């Protein structure tokens, strides 16, 4: 029988997670939890997804707006098999008490501190560590991107030390509160940034330092990465290692993909829902070896790369499949290249 999933929080990540869950053959969304009866709740209902109010006090707002609700979070938890908490960073931590009472395994997102969960998770890096874990945290979009490609290098050649500069979108496309900005903002100004330590919650022994900037754009982050390798490698060897890694895609300026704007256009032409790119995109031409150091540039679609991880985290937590089988099933359902 398909696993019944409660998705608590239905914004940028929650809406994508819910759609992705419903594309799998071994799980279904039992309901999503909303604080407001807005267009997002209305679209969920249109898609046949049941909507629940976050609190009993909020029920009236849905009734007044004539948006059909099936109960509250507490009702939904009684019938669910697992929770995916996609509320804003920090809210998940507070919600944990509610989940504890329900006894349900829970998947958290990267906005929560690592201490919220037993395991910080990127499927292709540490699926086994998360098998049977009650609480799993899918790490942030940036950490997921760094882990996927550095893990590919580490497995093939060993990584002595990595350094990354992150150029981050200032806000998501619908986030009018945080954007637009007209500035390049060192974020944070105290270096190194928190992204390196966050990578170490998954790749524990990989020395890495990071710096990060916010820039006025809404689609994708860019990472400029260099890594000192333990074993000798040529540019071709490194390209082959990236080519072999799942959820990593080599793109090329020679094919006309020279910017995040082209990646957006490409994703739309692929008919990807919401122009989502689940894959970390590495520019083939950027991969360069200087002595024992490799350089490369990658693009991360912040709204999309963590979505497959959430699906695999459910399977790991509930011991539904082994790593390879789960990653393959998720990739097939989401049409990941």
Distances (CA, A) of 6 to 46, 203, 213: 18, 29, 35
Alpha-carbon 315 to chain mean position:
16
Query: What span, in angstroms and rounded, lies between the C-alpha atoms of 54 and 326?
Result: 31
Are the CB atoms for 151 and 128 separated by under 8 Å?
A: no
Are the CB atoms for 54 and 72 separated by under 8 Å?
A: yes
Which listed range, 109-117, 190-198, 242-250, 257-265, lies at the site for ligand NAD (CB under 6 A)?
A: 109-117
276 near ligand NAD, rule: CB under 6 A: no
Compute the 3-state secondary structure of the chain and give helix, strand, coil in percent, each to the nearest 5.
Answer: 40, 25, 35
Catalytic residue among 6, 125, 138, 141: 141
Residues 304-323: x where in contact with ligand NAD by CB under 6 A, - otherwise, as a string: --x-----------------
Q: Minimum distance from CB of 235 to ligand NAD (Å)?
A: 31
Pairing of strands 293-300, 280-283: antiparallel
Query: What span, in angstroms and rounded, lies between the C-alpha atoms of 24 and 13?
Result: 17
- In this structure, what DSSP letter does residue 279 have? S
Residue from 3, 6, 7, 14 touching ligand NAD (CB under 6 A): that is 14
> Closer CB to ligand NAD, residue 32 or residue 329?
32
Residue from 201, 302, 330, 331 touching ligand NAD (CB under 6 A): that is 302
330 near ligand NAD, rule: CB under 6 A: no
Residue from 24, 80, 107, 109 touching ligand NAD (CB under 6 A): that is 109
> Closer CB to ligand NAD, residue 63 or residue 255?
63
Are the CB atoms for 281 and 251 separated by under 8 Å?
A: yes
56 near ligand NAD, rule: CB under 6 A: no
Q: Which helix (H) or strand (E) holds 30?
A: strand 27-34
Q: How far apart are the first and last CA of the chain?
A: 28
> Closer CB to ligand NAD, residue 29 or residue 287?
29
Residue from 130, 141, 206, 277 touching ligand NAD (CB under 6 A): that is 141
Q: Minimum distance from CB of 121 to ligand NAD (Å)?
A: 12
Q: Minimum distance from CB of 152 to ligand NAD (Å)?
A: 20
Residue from 2, 56, 60, 89 touching ligand NAD (CB under 6 A): that is 89
Q: How many CB atoms lie within 10 A of CB 246?
A: 18
Secondary structure of residue 66 in the 3-state scheme? coil
Q: Minimum distance from CB of 256 to ligand NAD (Å)?
A: 26
37 near ligand NAD, rule: CB under 6 A: no
35 near ligand NAD, rule: CB under 6 A: yes
The yes-or-no answer on residue 125 being catalytic is no
Burial grade of 205 (CB within 10 A; 0-12, 13-18, 19 or more): exposed
Q: Which helix (H) or strand (E) holds 18?
A: helix 12-22
Among positions 157-216, residues that touch ligand NAD (CB under 6 A) are 172
Residue from 30, 44, 51, 54 touching ligand NAD (CB under 6 A): that is 54
> Closer CB to ligand NAD, residue 154 or residue 198?
198
Q: In 55-191, which residue ranges form alpha helices assigned H by DSSP?
A: 59-64, 73-79, 91-102, 123-130, 141-157
| Contact set with ligand NAD (CB under 6 A) | 8-14, 33, 35, 54, 86-89, 91, 109-112, 140-141, 172, 302-303, 306
Which residues are known catalytic residues?
Answer: 141
């Amino acid at each position: 029988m398909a696993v019944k999933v409660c998705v608590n929080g239905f914004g940028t990540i929650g809406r994508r997670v819910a759609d992705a869950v419903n594309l799998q053959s071994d799980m279904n969304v039992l309901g999503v939890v909303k604080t407001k009866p807005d267009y997002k709740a209305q679209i969920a209902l249109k898609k046949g997804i049941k909507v629940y109010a976050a609190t009993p006090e909020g029920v009236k707002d849905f009734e007044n707006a004539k948006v059909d609700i099936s109960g509250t979070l507490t009702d939904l938890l009684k019938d669910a098999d697992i929770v995916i908490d996609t509320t804003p960073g920090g809210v998940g931590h507070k919600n944990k008490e509610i989940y504890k009472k329900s006894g349900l395994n829970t998947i958290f997102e990267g906005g929560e501190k690592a201490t919220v969960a037993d395991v910080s998770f990127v499927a292709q890096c540490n699926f086994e560590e998360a098998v049977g874990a009650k609480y799993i945290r899918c790490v942030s979009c940036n950490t997921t991107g760094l882990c996927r490609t550095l893990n590919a290098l580490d497995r093939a050649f060993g990584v002595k030390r990595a350094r990354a500069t992150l150029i981050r979108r200032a806000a998501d496309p619908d986030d009018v509160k945080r954007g637009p900005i007209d500035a390049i903002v060192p974020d944070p100004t105290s270096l190194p940034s928190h992204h390196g330590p966050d990578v170490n919650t998954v790749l524990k022994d990989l020395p890495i330092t990071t710096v990060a900037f916010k820039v006025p754009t809404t689609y994708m982050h860019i990472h400029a990465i260099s890594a000192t390798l333990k074993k000798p490698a040529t540019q071709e060897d490194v390209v082959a290692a990236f080519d072999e890694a799942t959820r990593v895609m080599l793109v090329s300026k020679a094919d006309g993909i020279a910017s995040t704007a082209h990646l957006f256009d490409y994703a739309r032409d692929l008919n990807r829902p919401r122009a989502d790119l689940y894959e970390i995109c590495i520019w083939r031409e950027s991969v360069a070896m200087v002595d024992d150091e490799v350089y490369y540039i990658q693009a991360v679609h912040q709204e999309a790369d963590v979505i497959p991880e959430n699906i695999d985290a459910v399977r790991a937590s509930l011991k539904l499949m082994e790593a390879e089988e789960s990653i393959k099933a998720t990739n097939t359902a989401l049409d990941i290249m």
